[in-house]
């Protein structure tokens, strides 16, 4: 979806979260009606990813920030792929669930014990570990 399409759906103008951090066609935005802790990654003018870093916002399957890594693995089973976290390795992990065609996915970040955040979007965008990078 484009920024204009998002604005029509939310009936508001997208608020750029950190204009200073915008780089090479990538930035984060939000709408007043979105819950605190949700950010929208806009990449090349289109919604690429939705980030969640606050407790209380559940995936369709019931995963959330704060749940145990063990519970997350039980919930998704063998569908999750595990990689070491770039900043909290060896304890932390990236646990990724890909769509059947591998075009989209959801990636959970953990500290080795609990989910600290997650983001869903295009296969490319969920690989970025520092927002737009």
98-119 per-position pLDDT tens digit: 999 999 999 999 999 999 999 9
CA 65/CA 87 separation, integer angstroms: 18
Among the ranges given (19-28, 46-55, 96-105), the one the predictor scored with the smallest mean pLDDT: 19-28
SS3 75: helix
**Burial of residue 76 (number of CB atoms within 10 Å: 0-12, 13-18, 19+):** middle
Among the ranges given (18-22, 32-36, 101-105, 113-117), the one the predictor scored with the smallest mean pLDDT: 18-22
Answering whether pTM is above 0.85, one says: yes
CA 116/CA 8 separation, integer angstroms: 31
CA 32/CA 53 separation, integer angstroms: 17
């Amino acid at each position: 979806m484009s920024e204009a399409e998002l604005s029509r759906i939310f009936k508001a103008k997208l608020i750029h979260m950190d204009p200073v951090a915008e780089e090479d066609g990538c930035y984060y935005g939000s709408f007043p009606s979105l819950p605190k802790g949700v950010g929208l990654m806009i990449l090349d003018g289109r919604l690429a990813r939705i980030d969640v870093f606050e407790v209380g916002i559940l995936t369709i399957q019931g995963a959330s920030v704060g749940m145990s890594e063990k519970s997350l693995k039980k919930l998704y089973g063998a569908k999750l792929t595990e990689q070491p976290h770039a900043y909290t390795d060896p304890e932390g992990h990236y646990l990724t669930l890909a769509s059947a065609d591998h075009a989209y996915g959801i990636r959970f970040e953990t500290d080795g014990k609990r989910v600290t955040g997650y983001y869903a979007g295009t296969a490319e965008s969920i690989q970025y570990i520092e927002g737009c990078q």
